[in-house]
Amino acid sequence: MSAPTRPKRFGPAAITALKGQRPIVALTAYTTPMTKLLDPHCDLLLVGDSLGMVLYGLETTVGVTLEMMIAHGQAVMRGAATACVVVDMPFGSYQESKEQAFRNAARILKETGADAVKLEGGAEMAETVSFLVTRGVPVCGHVGLMPQQVNATGYRSQGHTEGEAAKIRRDAEAIGKAGAFAVVVEGTVEPLAREITASIAVPTIGIGASPACDGQILVSDDMLGLFSDFRPRFVKRFADLAPLIAQAAEAYAEEVRSRTFPGPEHTFRRRPGAD
């Protein structure tokens, strides 16, 4: 069943139009309550396949399924009012052929009501991006460090050698020319990310890239400090919620064990005159 339409402030074209105007604010979102908190402050919300690691405890994003992405895309759309919502296409859902990519992208858009999809890959995915865009599927690209390729490349910053840099330049240019409305540049050395931002016509959204990118994105749970044991170099914690949650759980446990919670104000009394 298709998701209902709703008024939106930002769509893919509006994101593209922000290049050269002001920085694009983007964060990941996976649930309805968090989306409602983030939406008023963001131009773009990404239902990232990072949810596999953030919510499901997977070691990489490779195990994320299309069904997982659709379920969380639906949850985010229930909470989003103004931001452009983009859903990641998971590993294996688009690499086989451009026809496979269209079938799965169309399913994501139809079943979630989201504005666009995102896929990883450079020049080798340009034909697929063009195929989707010409058939009405807005696409956000993703170059540089590509987490879905972790089994082949590992997690490490990109662009240190001239060979790596040349490939990332070609990738960004190819995806931009193929019709992507924006390109995420991840884990890429600063001078190269700055150069790419200046050279392609569509916005770059950086994560571990350059402050010169046209926008920035972080995994919300990283930015909020919900993980106490892991912080990538490129993450700034704007809050440190993990200790607060642990303290709240400890206080709750103490009150339950001492029978001070629930108190009279938390329980129901029989109404007078009830049979």
- β-pairing, 215-218 vs 24-28, is parallel
Q: Which two tokens stand for residue 98?
A: 């451009």
On whether 50 is known to bind a ligand per the annotation, the reply is: yes
- List, in order, residues 6 or more apart from 196 with CB less than 8 Å away: 168, 169, 172, 185, 188, 204
**Cα(146)–Cα(104) distance, rounded to whole angstroms?**
20
Instruction: Choose among 214, 219, 193: nearest CA to 204.
Output: 214
For every residue of 106-171, DSSP letters joined together read HHHHHHH--SEEE--BSGGGHHHHHHHHTTT--EEEEEES-GGGHHHH-S--B--SHHHHHHHHHH
Catalytic residue status for 67: no
Query: Does 110 carry a binding-site annotation?
Result: no
Is 120 assigned to a binding site? yes
Rounded to a whole number, what is the largest CA-CA distance in the chain?
A: 83
Which residue of the set 111, 173, 186, 195 is catalytic? 186
Q: Which single residue is written with the structure tokens 């269209």?
A: 102
- Is residue 43 a known part of a binding site? no
* 67 annotated as a binding-site residue: no
AA letter at 241: L
Q: Which residues are annotated as a binding site for 3-methyl-2-oxobutanoate?
A: 49-50, 88, 118
Positions marked catalytic: 186
Q: Which residues are annotated as a binding site?
A: 49-50, 88, 118, 120
Q: Which residues are annotated as a binding site for Mg(2+)?
A: 49, 88, 120
